[in-house]
Structure 1
Amino acid sequence: MKQSRLMSLIEAITIVIVGYILAIATQILVFPWFGLEVAFGEHLAIGMAFVAVSLARSYLLRRLFALI
């Protein structure tokens, strides 16, 4: 069964949101190991910098695989 474009977008958004939450948690745990002191707001900003790219990547790859 083919996935609609809307469902591809919803799936991509869900993947990005879960990935964003995991990335923030990972940053909070790992950054101190490297001596990086970052405020929580900066963690959020760093994560947001990659959200648009991640969303586009997920959606485009999903559509590519839907064509195959």
Structure 2
Amino acid sequence: MKQSRLGSFYEALINALIRFPIGLVSQFAVFPLVGIEATLTTNFQVAGYFTVISIISSYVIRRWFNDRLHRAAHRMAGGE
């Protein structure tokens, strides 16, 4: 069974939203270690940008793998 585009998007969205607070807390810990001073607002903006990038990349990767798996299953079933 092939995953729908909407299903892939929801999966990518939920994964990124779950990781958002982890990334935000990580920024508070790591930024000072590398000499980056950032306000709370800036930290949220950076985390937001990376979350959007994560959603897009996760969606593209999920669709690519889904297509490959669907084609492999089709070949195994004797299709062209």
TM-score, normalised relative to structure 2: 0.72
- Structure 1: state its 5+ residue gaps: none
Counterpart-to-counterpart distance in 2, 1:31 and 1:11: 29
Q: SS where residue 58 of structure 2 aligns?
A: helix
* CA positional deviation for 1:26: 0.3
| Deviation digits for residues 43-62 of structure 1 (CA, Å, limit 9, x no counterpart) | 00111222322211111110
SS in 1 for 2:55: helix
RMSD, matched Cα: 1.4
> Which aligned segments of 4 or more residues in structure 1 are displaced greater than 6 angstroms?
none
Give the C-alpha shift of residue 14 in structure 1. 0.8
The separation in 2 between residues aligned to 1:13 and 1:31, in whole angstroms, is: 25
**For residues 7-46 of structure 1, what are the structure 2 equivalents within 5 Å?**
7-46=7-46
Larger relative contact order (CA 8 Å, sep ≥ 6): 1
